[in-house]
């Protein structure tokens, strides 16, 4: 089984969301294979279907001054933050070819983050009832997905070396008292994003059982051609 692997670099949330939604349609129609998008976002707070406005602690003026967008989206979960220094993977997969098992898919996303963390000597763990991965010092990575006709979008976000750490503006995932932590916080020195991306690529191939094929520049340009949402 093969999947396209596309590195979008650092990108605003709206254009990345538009690409996901377009690919989800194309995958459902059988016009593309599975696709793995890897990227970093410009600072943004996203609110999932279970999100509550009071879990955003900063005022709109404060967020505007900091250049932080706020976007309500269709993924599951509550409020989270994305920004530079956070590794984001958005798999566009056909789960009809993977047993239609959402619980297994979420565990696979967690396993990918666990393996990336292990590549820099950090042991991340799961916590029952709280999707994502954790360390004794806080939450390392989040999982939030949306599935339509068994085609996935959204995915995972692993804190590698946040700058700035925008989790101070929210209650992470709506969990009172939860603290977010990054790999660099735990190891005590900067963790290069390039190394994290390489480790993620290996983990994706192994965990999802796919051969990753780099997407062509013209393919990515076509995905970008649709106007951003929001």
* 188 CB burial (10 A radius; 0-12, 13-18, 19+): exposed
Residue 75 marked as a ligand binder: yes
Residue length of the chain: 230
Q: Is 126 annotated as a binding-site member?
A: no
Q: Say what angle helices 13-28 and 217-224 make with each other, to 10 degrees.
A: 100
DSSP state of 180: B
d(CA 104, CA 207): 11
Among all residues, which ones are annotated catalytic?
A: 173
Q: Is 85 annotated as a binding residue?
A: no
Tell me how far apart the alpha carbons of residues 5 and 37 are, in angstroms, rounded to a whole number: 6
Q: Is 81 annotated as a binding residue?
A: yes
Residue 159 and residue 85 in contact, taking contact as beta carbons nearer than 8 Å:
yes
Q: Identify the bridge partners of residue 9 per DSSP, sorted by sequence position.
A: 39
Q: Is 200 annotated as a binding residue?
A: no
Annotated binding residue 77? yes
CB contact at 8 A, 77 and 173: yes
Task: Calculate the CA dihedral of residues 109, 198, 31, 92 and round it to 10 degrees.
Answer: 20
3-state DSSP call for residue 143? Answer: strand
79 is in an annotated binding site: yes
Question: Any binding-site annotation on 32?
Answer: no
Residue 157 among known ligand-binding residues: yes
- Flag whether 83 is marked binding: no
Residue list, annotated binding site = 75-82, 142-144, 155-157
Residue list, annotated binding site for substrate = 75-82, 142-144, 155-157
């Amino acid at each position: 089984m093969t999947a396209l692997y596309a590195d979008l670099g650092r990108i605003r949330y709206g254009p990345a969301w538009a690409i996901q939604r377009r690919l989800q349609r194309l995958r459902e129609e059988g016009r593309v294979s599975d696709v793995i998008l890897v990227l970093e976002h410009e600072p943004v707070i996203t609110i999932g279907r279970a999100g509550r406005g009071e879990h955003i602690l900063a005022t709109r003026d404060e967020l505007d001054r900091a250049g932080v967008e706020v976007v309500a989206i269709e993924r599951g979960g509550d409020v989270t933050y994305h920004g530079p220094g956070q590794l984001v993977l958005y798999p566009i997969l056909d789960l009809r070819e993977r047993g239609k098992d959402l619980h297994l898919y979420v565990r696979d996303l967690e396993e990918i983050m666990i393996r990336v963390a292990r590549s820099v000597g950090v042991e991340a763990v799961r916590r029952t009832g709280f999707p994502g991965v954790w360390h004794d010092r806080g939450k390392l990575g989040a999982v939030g997905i949306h599935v339509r006709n068994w085609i996935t979008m959204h995915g995972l976000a692993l804190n590698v070396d946040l700058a700035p750490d925008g989790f101070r503006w929210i209650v992470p995932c709506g969990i009172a008292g939860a603290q977010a932590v990054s790999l660099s916080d735990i190891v005590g020195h900067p963790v290069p994003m390039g190394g994290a991306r390489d480790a993620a690529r290996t983990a994706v191939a192994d965990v999802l059982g796919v051969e990753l094929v780099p997407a062509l520049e013209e393919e990515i340009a076509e995905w970008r051609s649709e106007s951003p949402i929001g």
